[in-house]
Chain A
């Protein structure tokens, strides 16, 4: 399955949601919040818009994309589009409210947007929980999408700010935990793929899984975990660690690369029951 645009859509979209969560977590703790308006908040919107554009590239007839809200009753793809729209609207209201120095409206919009983002990540996962595709129809899919949001969002926040600060210590801690769980979940994914492979005709997916890709994924997750932990130690004041802007950027790119490799493998393991 060729799914580059979908890899971009899901990874960028989840990073945008995670980044919004990060700014919502830390935004209330920052007096004035100006840094959060200029950096992470704007980056979250830009990432979500880029994700939307990537999703459009996947379509054979983009001019019919507006029809995607036409089956909210049963289609998780329809719901995903609706929640993506709600996220963008909520994000815009948050930006405007912050710009207008209206903290109450900003806080309210921020909470609703964070919830819409959670709904969006859940809907993204449910799109793939097809009863005909055993490799995808697992809670691991849902967990993995939320973990990507948490880990890449935390690193994106540090990237947008240029460093991890004491106000982002909580966010970075969430990122470290998410990366550690992702690393631990690799074994579960491997077992799931093997079990799923038994349920489909072997000829359906001759390219399923590869040790080389698995090693890349684990290596990138490990490097991301290490750099994320250093950021957290410095931000929380646990250890006298100072990471340069270049270091923060590198850590962010490593975690995004881990997400891209993992998601690419996710699509490569597509194989449905039947023919």
Chain B
């Protein structure tokens, strides 16, 4: 059976946020709630070598939503059983069962569960399951103008792209995300998130 996963090419993403906006537009989510977020990671600097100056400044973007992990820590910690996983790997949240304790938000290393304060419960990316079930791509994937975001069967994506690591995403073993990456320059850990406050809203 197909197990859905995302592929994100961080070397191609320009940080336009079309994916984030398309997702918000589709879900009609309130201010501050973003099922998909685009982080900007920057690093490097200028160093003097003799009479010359050299620079290794870099920046790249990470478009991150729920990664529908193989070991979803949100599902593991949720006390009410509001979070479930389909056979195709998609992790779903039933808002009607959620008590709004925000424990999943603490635990998820990708910030995927988002709290909707007015409603008093969590929400999260559902991989646009209704689109998937109709054979169509998730909205974020369809919206990406640079084809930096893609989706497909996890085994195929892993065979094609391998388990690349991109800072500051956690080690794969923590939750085994259904996310495969093409690493950009500087992805080895020297950078830091420059727009954290902007993402927090």
Which residues in A have some Cβ–Cβ distance to B below 8 Å? 58-62, 64-65, 67-71, 74-78, 81, 127, 130-133, 201-204, 270, 272-275
Contacts and interface: CB of A to CB of B under 8 A. Distances in A.
Contacts of B109: 132, 272-275
Given A77-B101, A131-B174, A70 B81 contact: yes
Interface in B115-151: 115, 117, 119-121
B106 A130 contact: yes
Contacts of B119: 60
A63 B174 CA distance: 33
B100 A132 contact: no
Interface string B44-82: 000000000000000000101000000001011111111
A60 B175 CA distance: 26
Across chains A and B, which 7 residue pairs bring their CB atoms closest together, nearest first? A60-B100, A274-B109, A60-B120, A70-B81, A64-B99, A67-B80, A77-B79
Contact of B107 (A59, A64, A67, A272): A272
Contact of A132 (B75, B120, B170): B170
A204 B77 contact: no
Contacts of A62: 99
Contacts of B64: 275
A201 B103 CA distance: 20
B115 A60 contact: yes
A128 B88 CA distance: 30
23 contacts: A59-B99, A60-B115, A64-B121, A68-B79, A68-B99, A69-B79, A70-B81, A71-B81, A74-B77, A75-B103, A76-B77, A127-B103, A130-B73, A130-B77, A132-B174, A133-B106, A201-B168, A201-B192, A272-B107, A273-B174, A275-B39, A275-B64, A275-B109
A45 B55 CA distance: 65
Nearest to B77: A75
Contacts of A201: 168, 192-193, 196
Contacts of A77: 77-79, 101, 103
Given A77-B77, A273-B174, A275-B109, A59 B192 contact: no
